[in-house]
Chains A and B, each alone.
Chain A
């Protein structure tokens, strides 16, 4: 009895050792294709700053990654998309998180783009609003200030109040390029500096319309369908609902060592399947193009 008990213990211990080695091996391989195979070889610090939209995604990634790699410290800060791109271009951080593709003035600085996630956007209105679907043309009319009353798009006789983001916002840049395609937003709008503030403004202002990252839209507002297509992750994947941007992680030159391991981890199926959809984003791998 005693002997078999010991044997069991040994077996359990053995399995644990082997599986640890396996895990370590996997981590090491994805981190570094060279002969080094144990995760404990991975050392150093990874610093990232930028997009606040990506923060809820990167925080769990940081925690899980640090658990796997005890000798690596990952620091993630917000600050905004342009701050992130600025700091990585200057070499102040290893990774610059951003919601936008590199603007002209950053090209030629050797930044490498890693698209890690798809960020869907939805148009939201106040709950009192009767309209539940808008065509792209109607939305363009509203955003440019040509349509100013809900009755022009089949709603009640009520003035339209546009509540959206500042000119420097990545979300605004995405909407501008996806929907407006070169036309200018009207200045006659209330500007809020975060998704949460836009949501709150739209929820409490009758006749208001705005846009937020899809994960933010909750029961306090009404999510509009676009061209008859209600928002869903599947609609984005199928290309029927075109309002989305990419979450980018920029590095200066090709990433190495711990930085590469961290980006690989964020893009790994394990992480993307576990967190990305739960947080309302869409895994990059699912996009059909």
Chain B
């Protein structure tokens, strides 16, 4: 009797806990879809007043005289993101190789948590350091007018994406089967040859995932970018000219823009562009991940 009752109760738990999980999953899905729906609906309303061609291909942004060309923001976002990847990837990848394959265990045990600490620094602090240290430094070294702009922003973003690249690449490197490495060494390859001919290529899908995730982080970063990019609504002419990104322009104008106006909607449309870009990146990651196991 007693035992039976206990068993019944466990079965009931089982059933209801299952409902709890379903409810949580449903809620999560509802939330993300309502966000997409809301941003999408609000953003697409821009096209009542502005043609898509103007929004995506004109670079004149002046809502006060009804010019809504967002090209300079899109180009700004792409340029700083790519440059950050170019600067950050080799650094992060070499760091990951060092931590995974070369460093003594004790050093690695210190470095791994240290790398994770990068994430704990609020992005406004990165921005502030950029503003007070990097901008004047760049101005002095390269003899430019302001120092704000693409280069400083990319350097800061490169630092900010390091933990993503290091941790995920390191996991990928650790996941390379030991026999591969041993076989390569047994065939007479030096350790360096083994590293760049065997280990890194086999970890490539994981490393690519790291890079794409880092790109998603860089393109969405707002606060630090806003502080050092200069926020000029013009297409950058060089590494040291100020420009704007989608995020920096949203954060600068959103607070004082009437909700529901064409101007406000255009800012939501920029958010939608970012959302779509991130979505594409996630799809790319999934493709890469799938390739790994087939």
Contacts and interface: CB of A to CB of B under 8 A. Distances in A.
A80 interface: yes
Interface residues of A, number: 30
A86 B259 contact: yes
28 contacts: A80-B256, A82-B257, A83-B255, A86-B258, A86-B259, A159-B145, A161-B145, A166-B252, A166-B256, A168-B63, A168-B257, A169-B256, A170-B256, A187-B234, A188-B232, A188-B234, A190-B148, A190-B231, A190-B232, A191-B232, A191-B233, A191-B244, A197-B227, A200-B131, A204-B132, A204-B135, A204-B136, A205-B146
Interface of B: 61-65, 131-132, 135-136, 139, 145-148, 226-227, 230-234, 242, 244, 251-253, 255-259, 261, 263
A285 to B, nearest CB: 28
Contacts of B64: 167
B146 A167 contact: no
Given A83-B255, A205-B146, 9 more contacts: A86-B259, A105-B261, A168-B255, A168-B263, A184-B65, A191-B231, A193-B252, A197-B227, A201-B148
Identify which of B61, B135, B251, B255 gathers the most chain A CB atoms within 10 Å of its CB: B255
A191 B230 contact: yes
Nearest to A207: B145
A81 interface: yes
B258 A82 contact: yes
B102 to A, nearest CB: 41
Interface in A149-180: 159, 161, 166-170
Interface in A126-168: 159, 161, 166-168
A170 B253 CA distance: 11
> Which of B62, B242, B258: most chain A Cβ within 10 A?
B258
A14 interface: no
B230 A190 contact: yes
Contacts of A85: 258
Nearest to B253: A168
Interface string A180-212: 000010011111110001001100110110000
A79 interface: yes
B63 A167 contact: yes
Contact of A189 (B65, B227, B232): B232
B232 A187 contact: yes
A187 B255 CA distance: 20
B231 A105 contact: no
Contacts of A187: 61-62, 232-234
A86 B263 CA distance: 14
Nearest to A90: B259
A167 B253 contact: yes
Nearest 8 CB-CB pairs, A to B? A191-B231, A168-B256, A80-B256, A80-B255, A190-B230, A166-B252, A168-B253, A193-B252
Contact of A191 (B136, B147, B252): B252
